[in-house]
Structure 1
């Protein structure tokens, strides 16, 4: 499988904004460098017109080039650029080649390969911060679009009983299971969407860090998975999208509780 890689040259401040912009048109892996960053997307999902339109506003001070590449060993690239990520005073995300830091109550060890979810992106950070505020002990949790499995692993570390996860990419599911083993937790992972996943009848907590359009389309399904009083944690959308996400959630019987923001990204919590 080949990928389209955009090499963006820009200043550090603008890099965060541009990564968010490209994330909104399907790019799901970002690698920072001294001149800016690289963003990659599966060739089949790449839309040149969408990218041009998304970046048109940022013509001044930004240059970029586009190339096609074969699937890379994302882990080797990541190792050469990755630093541990502090999510909060309680939680750090690190690689296996970093030493553990005893000052954190929780740590997650991640080897991402080609999967999304290392803690560097704002949406992952926000989801993890929201998870830290919610009681997971003895709960059943569903992680939809699990990527590296980082949110599913967090659920287990917080005391969840059963965690079911799914992703449409088979290598993401394999990566999630590898990361679960690194953190000494058990997950049940299915290749596919929420509709194909092996799942329990109901969950006290459902996690979905995907994108606005998928969240809107699948909201009725999420509501059906959640027990009365259960929580739905969402991310993958911008601040300006929160009203439409909330409206859709309300329409299927979910109540808005709170949200967090970072770099114009949002993670919101709803209750069934």
Structure 2
């Protein structure tokens, strides 16, 4: 399957807005650059009319230029290898590709070959989620990663000592990539499932649930998460902006969760809730 790359040249103040808008259209991988960002989507799901509608909606507020090109799946590795730089998160976690050397001082070393999947740690939401994970005891815990992308958060759970890990994604090629990355990091036992919230119905309760998706999906699926979250268990959410936090807090309260804390980076948020 081939992919469509839409590259937007847009003011930095509006880049996050357009990222969120394209995320609602099904774009699931994003790469920032000096003039804006590039977004990626399966060719079968791409609608140029939908992209144009988003751009036109903001035409009175900001000037936007965009280009569209098709990228063959087999060429994706070459694209990310050009731009994927290793990074440190929380002064403890190294995230790198397999062609980078292992750093000497990393407490946790995660190798990610992302292909077309979202979640290399470079996006603010992934970084924030990992920073929040570092604050929770995962040792011997049962962990669920919804919208797992590359599998990076599930792998992080393994690094932190989780005993059972389930990861869920809606795209078959993303499931394949998450499984590859899990095996690459020594966590072939991670149960990577194809589907959405329906795949976790009836599961044994989880101690920790991770969901880095987007506001609308989180609001819709939060009841399904809570249904399989242990009492005193934790729900970590990201994929939304600071202005959306109160909406997520209200929904969480309705479902019996208690808000604990949140982190912010470039207006993106990751929040921690507890099932009390």
Structure 1 length-normalised TM:
0.90
Residue in structure 1 matched with residue 87 of structure 2 by the alignment: 85
Stretches of structure 1 lacking an aligned partner (at least 5 in a row):
none
Q: Distance in 2 between matches of 1:241 and 1:32?
A: 22
The Cα of 1:190 is off from its aligned counterpart by: 0.8
Q: Specify the SS of the correspondent of 1:269.
A: strand
The Cα of 1:12 is off from its aligned counterpart by: 6.9
Q: Distance in 2 between matches of 1:241 and 1:31?
A: 23
Residue in structure 2 matched with residue 213 of structure 1 by the alignment: 216
The aligned runs of 1:186-197 (5 Å cut-off) are 186-197=189-200
The Cα of 1:73 is off from its aligned counterpart by: 3.4
Does 1:123 find its partner at 2:115? Answer: no
Q: Distance in 1 between matches of 2:26 and 2:33?
A: 21
The Cα of 1:169 is off from its aligned counterpart by: 0.6
1:178–1:49: structure 2 CA closer, same or farther, 3 Å change rule? same
The Cα of 1:71 is off from its aligned counterpart by: 3.9
1:160–1:50: structure 2 CA closer, same or farther, 3 Å change rule? farther
Of 160, 165, 178, which residue of structure 1 is paired with 2:180? 178
Q: Distance in 2 between matches of 1:34 and 1:213?
A: 29
Does 1:94 find its partner at 2:105? Answer: no
1:220–1:12: structure 2 CA closer, same or farther, 3 Å change rule? closer
1:32–1:210: structure 2 CA closer, same or farther, 3 Å change rule? closer
Q: Distance in 2 between matches of 1:98 and 1:54?
A: 42
Does 1:234 find its partner at 2:225? Answer: no
Does 1:106 find its partner at 2:108? Answer: yes
Residue in structure 2 matched with residue 260 of structure 1 by the alignment: 263
Q: Aligned Cα RMSD in Å? A: 2.3
The Cα of 1:102 is off from its aligned counterpart by: 1.8
Report the more deviating stretch, 13-22 or 185-194.
Answer: 13-22
Structure 2 length-normalised TM:
0.89
Report the more deviating stretch, 9-18 or 184-193.
Answer: 9-18
Residue in structure 2 matched with residue 158 of structure 1 by the alignment: 160
Does 1:31 find its partner at 2:24? Answer: no
Stretches of structure 2 lacking an aligned partner (at least 5 in a row):
none
Q: Distance in 2 between matches of 1:199 and 1:113?
A: 32
Residue in structure 2 matched with residue 7 of structure 1 by the alignment: 7
The Cα of 1:182 is off from its aligned counterpart by: 1.2
The Cα of 1:36 is off from its aligned counterpart by: 4.2
Does 1:167 find its partner at 2:166? Answer: no
Query: Per-residue displacement from partner, 1:32-82 (whole Å, max 9, x unpaired)?
Result: 45654321223425423552256536634x422234555453222111111
Q: Specify the SS of the correspondent of 1:56.
A: coil
Residue in structure 2 matched with residue 202 of structure 1 by the alignment: 205
Q: Distance in 2 between matches of 1:21 and 1:138?
A: 38
Query: Per-residue displacement from partner, 1:186-241 (whole Å, max 9, x unpaired)?
Result: 30111111212487410000011111111111111111111110000001111101
The Cα of 1:253 is off from its aligned counterpart by: 0.6
